[in-house]
Amino acid sequence: MRLGFLCLLIYCGVVKADFNCEVALQYGLVVTDQQIRVIDHSRTVYQINGDSQLIVGGNWIELSDPTQQQQLAELANGLHMVVPKMILLANEGVELAVETVEQVYSGLMGKDHKSQEKLQASLSRVQKSVREKFIHANNTYYMGPGRLENVDDFVDRELEEQIEQAMSTSVGGILSAIGGLVTSEQSTEQSTEQKIDELAQRLENMGVEIEQNVAPKAQSLKQKAEWFCKKFKALDDVEESLRASVHQLQPYDILATGEKH
């Protein structure tokens, strides 16, 4: 159904700013107050205790070089700061996306409780999927491997699939909502024009509401995403320098940015 794409287009136009961040997380990360664990298929390949102790494959790696110690501390402190904030940003982003889609849908469909329930169920599945990829429980934060571009790709794919599924069950209501372009034999030219006028007014009102309520939040998210992108790229440089001098880390490249991505 095209309405699903319409919702996505409006969502993309408001929430997604003209911003591209080429960053990928190639391993899972578990971050607690005192520890960072790098995860590959549920297995810890290496960990950093505090900001000074490095353990790779269960073996403690003693770093005698002050430069290596400094780089390890910089990488650890950076991940301790960025990962929790990134998880909060991911969940904030999907909440805004869901809010926008709900607003668009209500603006077009009105109070169609049956189809609204189906959409709510679909959007709940989207939120659950994101929460499973970006987890926060007590003082533990987990990020699964994948691209970090404002979680756009992940959210878009999930939203498109779920919204299409929800809306495909209410074809009649959707056709009516888009202005009576497919009319019955009893429809008149005047009633069709009235429907189109009503839809135009709905869209206008909906646009004003989105501009007022969603656009400021979207701009804030964009600014945060740009900040995170710069931080991750700086941490990638630190990680590359550390991997170049500590041969035990060379098989494990956590962050990939730019051409590496």
Domain count, the chain: 1
Cα distance between residue 95 and residue 112, in whole Å? 22
> DSSP assignment, residue 252?
-
Decide: 48 and 228 in contact? Cβ < 8 Å: no
Which residue's entry shows tokens 């899972």? 28
Q: Are 89 and 221 in contact (CB under 8 A)?
A: yes
Residue among 251, 233, 238 nearest 148 (CA): 233
The predicted model scores a pTM of: 0.71
Rounded Cα–Cα distance for residues 203 and 108 (Å): 7
- Side-chain half-sphere of 246: how many Cα atoms within 13 Å? 27
pLDDT at 2: 31
Q: How far is CA 180 from the centre of its chain?
A: 35
The rounded distance, in Å, linking the Cα atoms of 147 and 247 is 26
In this predicted structure, what is the pLDDT of residue 223? 82
Residue 74 confidence (pLDDT): 97
Residue 45: what pLDDT? Answer: 95
Radius of gyration of the chain (CA): 23
Q: State the pLDDT at residue 251.
A: 95
Cα gap 101→90, rounded to integer Å: 17
The pLDDT assigned to 54 comes to 97
Residue pLDDT tens, the chain, 261 long? 233 333 333 344 444 445 567 778 899 999 999 999 999 988 999 999 999 999 999 999 999 899 999 999 999 999 999 999 888 888 887 787 777 777 777 766 666 666 677 777 777 877 787 777 788 888 899 988 876 544 444 455 555 565 555 555 444 444 444 444 444 444 555 566 776 677 677 767 767 777 777 778 778 877 888 888 889 899 999 999 999 999 999 999 999 887 555
Q: How would you classify the pairing of strands 43-49 and 53-56?
A: antiparallel
Quick one: DSSP state of residue 65?
A: S
Q: Where are the alpha helices (DSSP H) in 134-214?
A: 152-167, 171-177, 189-213
User: By residue range, what is the domain housing residue 227?
Assistant: 2-257
